[in-house]
């Protein structure tokens, strides 16, 4: 990179011109907004102008980041477009000065290096040749770097020692400079560095579910949020950002992503955890006094590793994984079938016309056929209403036909009276059927062993069903339900009552989707228009395996009714090669099905270290020294990670006593701070830091279980620059790191 690029003078002149135009536009907007008005339409227009002014003020010193020269095949016209976070149009000439990154032609900037290219417009494909791709580093209106051929696809795809990188080991300078920046406490937009495979996902079709298996550091969260921005920009005439929903694993994570949404023009999107949203949905249907168990209790149960809790862990695992499974979803549907076929006593429906003594009758076999077959596509209550309507129509038709044949004329009032009596008779007929009420039905199902076994698929083990019944009885007796019950209750309510006419969400993003259950995702699909969803996750990071996914295939084959697209992201952009090599060794040793091994970009750094401290005081002193050294290097975000909540509380107090300024993070925290944070391992998922310091990487804390392997992998893939692992005393290193320790001895 050099500031003396051959095109530097030309490009700086163009930038100066662009800045002058923006300045003029800003002044005109300010003049417009100075005029007070009581006119509603003008107020709406001024609100839009205020937003335009805000965007111009934020892009004034750096209006664009890229340029594409594109020669059209049909006309041989050369389009030279500059691409930025926001499109800018000069009002006097209506000329596009800067093209929005979400516009169709901007896709050329993000696509591969082939000169033969095209972009999609509402009128069809525009084909041609890309003659130039150029990227700019701009600071305060001055070009500090020009990169030609930026964002190449030829990024390193090799894993191994640095010497193993062959001729393919290339990463463009602009991306490298971006990745080497220090991290802060918020997620950033990546509009200037979106890679080709990420761009495909961002611009995928709207009306379908997109499922992304992405390795740690592949940009899954950022891609999902940029996809929201892209959809809002391109479909604003038919969708609304206020009807977009982002589901994240916890409040801390929602705070972490909060700043990037407004930067992307996504200002009023809804955000929640699944537990928070589902609780609001189902609370009105729960019996008075019923409490929802704090979901953090399950986290503590599984991550504290107390031997005395193993039996409880096993029972809880069986119950929670069952409640979120496809098998339970099938059971809930099967219960409805069981209810209408076996719980209802169908009888003949008949009445006698008092004047002619004619018997009108609907045989019970016909009533049952109508209810269990012809109307089977409807939820139970709607089915009931449809049946009553059908019975009334059928019997009324027969009555009128009989009256005509008998040449009996009835006045209007008599006919109305007959219809009212018929409605009353039909209501009395169906009122004798057993009621289907949501919570009583759910409770009966989970506490009746024979019924549960009868409806469960054969592959569900008796042991699991026994644990479900036993532990569910205890929960219900204590007037409690758990988060894992919520999706099942919402789904059962859908079977009984149906949903509203219009799904509440135009588009749904599910981040860290591997930690949601199949049933939870199925429920969210019911609440999303046209199954327009972006679902991102990594099976290797499924630390909530007691209730989460272990495979993407059921989502692709059993959940969605529409076509689903599946993407795999193998490239990791977060951590250095050295950090990812260590992390991948842990993952490979765990041998988890369907897991993708990350391929790091060619960005080198220091090797991670495993440091053994003789005493706890020596450990604290070394961590204090390490934090100071890393801060002096300019590393802003440093996470000190323990295995458990109790250990993080103890460590935070000890480091504070030594004068370290830090923030202790727990399961209840919502704010994500700058600087040094101390936190339990399971809270680090989805976050990133400049430096991560991990304590107690011994065999007692990280045992030889797949769950602990996933947790260790999550922690080790959080740092951008440095990873330090600590042991204390004579403790043996965890089996997951034994091979690495042997190599470095």
| pLDDT averaged per 10 residues in sequence order, the chain, 745 residues | 75 94 90 74 74 83 92 89 91 89 91 76 87 89 83 33 34 57 60 84 93 93 91 90 90 80 81 94 94 79 63 83 94 96 93 75 93 95 94 84 77 77 90 94 96 95 94 93 95 91 90 94 96 95 83 91 92 92 93 86 90 95 96 95 94 96 90 90 91 96 91 95 95 92 76
Q: How many CB atoms lie within 10 A of CB 145?
A: 17
- What DSSP letter does each residue of 44-97 carry, written as one string? HHHHHHHHHHHHHHHHSS---SEEEEEEETTT--EEEEEEESS-EEETTTTEEE
Residue 351, helix vs strand vs coil: strand
Question: What tokens does 448 get?
Answer: 């009746």
pLDDT of residue 161: 34
**Beta carbons of 254 and 248 less than 8 angstroms apart:** yes
Which residue in 586, 571, 518, 512 sits closest to 741, CA to CA? 586
User: Per the structure block, which two tokens stand in for 285?
Assistant: 């249907």
Position 624 scores a pLDDT of: 97
Report the alpha-carbon distance of residue 495 to residue 481 in Å, rounded: 20
For 235, the token pair is 């479909």
Please name the residue ranges forming H helices in 483-547: 483-497, 518-526
Find out whether 579 and 608 touch, Cβ atoms under 8 Å.
yes
Exposure string of 516-530, with b = 16+ CB inside 10 Å and e = fewer, is bbbbbbbbbbebbbe
Pairing of β 142-148 and β 533-537? unpaired
How crowded is residue 290: how many other Cβ atoms within 10 Å of its Cβ? 16
CA distance 340 to 371: 8
Query: Quick one: which of 161, 226, 211, 188 has its CA closest to 600?
Result: 161
Report d(CA 274, CA 254) in Å as an integer: 12
**What do you get for the CA distance between the two ends of the chain, in Å?**
39
- Cβ-based neighbour number of residue 331 at 10 Å: 24
**Dihedral angle at the C-alpha atoms of 349, 352, 358, 359, nearest 10 degrees?**
20
675, 642 Cβ separation under 8 angstroms: no
**Residue 743's pLDDT is what?**
80
Kindly tell me the burial class for residue 122, based on how many C-beta atoms sit within 10 Å of its own C-beta (0-12, 13-18, 19 or more). exposed
- Token reading at 6: 């051959």
Instruction: Show the tokens assigned to 332.
Output: 């809930």
The model carries a pTM of 0.88
CA dihedral over 687, 688, 691, 696, signed as positive or negative: positive
Quote the CA–CA distance of 698 and 687 in Å, as a whole number.
Answer: 23
pLDDT for res 267: 77
Confidence (pLDDT) at 266: 79
| pLDDT reported for residue 54 | 82
Please name which of 247, 289, 274 lies closest in space to residue 479, comparing C-alpha atoms: 289
pLDDT at 181 (0 to 100): 58
Residue 501 is classified by DSSP as: S
Please report the pLDDT score of residue 122 as a whole number: 80
Tokens of 20: 């002058």
Whole-number Å distance between alpha carbons of 612 and 678? 20
Q: Do residues 602 and 573 make contact, with C-beta atoms less than 8 angstroms apart?
A: no
Q: ∠ at Cα 707 (703, 712), nearest 5°?
A: 70
């Amino acid at each position: 990179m050099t500031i003396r690029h051959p095109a530097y003078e030309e490009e700086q002149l163009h930038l100066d011109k662009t800045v002058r135009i923006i300045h003029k536009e800003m002044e005109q907007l300010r003049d417009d907004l100075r005029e007070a008005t009581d006119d509603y339409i003008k107020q709406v227009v001024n609100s839009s102008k205020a937003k335009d002014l805000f965007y111009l003020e934020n892009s004034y010193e750096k209006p664009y980041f890229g340029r594409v020269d594109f020669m059209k095949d049909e006309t041989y016209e050369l389009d030279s477009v500059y691409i930025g976070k926001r499109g800018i149009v000069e009002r006097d000439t209506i000329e596009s000065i800067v093209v929005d990154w979400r516009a169709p032609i901007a896709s050329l900037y993000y696509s591969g290096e082939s000169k033969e290219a095209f972009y999609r417009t509402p009128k069809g494909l525009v084909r041609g040749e890309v003659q130039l791709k150029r990227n700019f580093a701009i600071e305060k209106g001055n070009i500090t770097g020009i990169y030609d051929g930026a964002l190449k696809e030829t990024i390193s795809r090799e894993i191994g020692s640095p010497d193993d990188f062959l001729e393919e080991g290339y990463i463009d300078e602009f991306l490298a400079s971006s990745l080497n920046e220090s991290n802060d406490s918020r997620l950033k937009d990546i509009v200037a560095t979106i890679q080709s495979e990420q761009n495909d996902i961002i611009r995928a079709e709207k009306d379908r579910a997109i499922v992304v298996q992405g390795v740690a550091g592949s940009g899954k969260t950022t891609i999902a949020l940029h996809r929201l921005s892209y959809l809002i920009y391109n479909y604003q005439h038919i969708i609304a950002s206020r009807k977009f929903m982002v589901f994240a694993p916890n409040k801390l994570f929602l705070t972490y992503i909060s700043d990037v949404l407004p930067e992307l023009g996504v200002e009023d999107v809804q955000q929640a955890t699944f537990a928070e949203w589902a609780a609001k949905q189902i609370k009105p249907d729960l019996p008075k006094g019923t409490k929802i168990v704090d979901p953090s209790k399950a986290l503590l149960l599984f991550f504290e590793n107390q031997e005395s809790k193993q039996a409880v862990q096993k029972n809880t695992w069986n119950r929670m994984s069952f409640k979120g499974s496809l098998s339970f979803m099938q059971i809930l549907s099967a219960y409805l079938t069981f209810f209408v076929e076996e719980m209802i006593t169908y009888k003949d429906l008949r009445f006698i016309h008092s004047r002619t003594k004619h018997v009108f009758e609907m045989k019970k076999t016909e009533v049952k056929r109508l209810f269990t077959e012809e109307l089977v596509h409807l939820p139970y209550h709607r089915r009931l209403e449809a049946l009553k309507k059908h019975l009334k129509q059928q019997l009324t038709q027969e009555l009128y036909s009989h009256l005509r044949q008998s040449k009996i004329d009835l006045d209007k009032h008599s006919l109305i009276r007959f219809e009212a009596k018929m409605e009353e008779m039909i209501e009395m007929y169906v009122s004798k059927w057993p009621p289907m009420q949501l919570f009583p039905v759910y409770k009966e199902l989970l506490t009746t062993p024979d019924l549960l076994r009868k409806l469960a698929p054969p592959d569900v083990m008796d042991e699991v069903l026994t644990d479900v019944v036993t532990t569910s009885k205890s929960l219900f007796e204590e007037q409690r339900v758990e988060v894992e019950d919520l999706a099942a209750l919402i789904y059962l309510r859908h079977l009984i009552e149906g949903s509203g006419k219009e799904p509440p969400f135009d588009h749904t993003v599910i981040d860290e989707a591997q930690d949601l259950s199949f049933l939870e995702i199925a429920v969210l699909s019911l609440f999303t228009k046209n199954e327009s969803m972006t679902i991102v996750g990594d099976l290797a990071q499924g630390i909530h395996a007691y209730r989460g996914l272990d495979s993407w295939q059921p989502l692709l084959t059993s959940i969605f009714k529409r076509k689903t697209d599946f993407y795999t992201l193998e490239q990791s952009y977060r951590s250095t090669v050295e950090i990812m090599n260590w992390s991948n060794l842990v993952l490979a040793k765990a041998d988890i099905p369907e897991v993708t091994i990350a391929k790091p970009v060619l960005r080198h750094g220091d090797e991670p270290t495993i440091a053994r401290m003789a005493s706890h005081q020596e450990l604290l002193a070394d961590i204090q020294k390490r934090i100071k050294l890393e801060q002096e290097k300019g590393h802003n975000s440093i996470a000190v990670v323990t295995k458990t909540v109790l250990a993080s509380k103890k460590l935070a107090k000890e480091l504070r006593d030594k004068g370290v300024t830090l923030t202790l993070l727990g399961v209840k925290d919502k704010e994500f701070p700058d600087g040094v944070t101390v936190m339990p391992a399971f809270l680090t998922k989805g976050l990133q830091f400049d430096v991560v310091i991990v304590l107690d990487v011994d065999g007692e804390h990280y045992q030889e279980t797949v769950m602990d392997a996933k947790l260790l992998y999550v922690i080790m893939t959080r740092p951008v620059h440095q990873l330090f692992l600590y042991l204390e005393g004579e403790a043996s290193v965890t089996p997951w790191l034994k091979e690495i320790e042997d190599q470095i001895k």
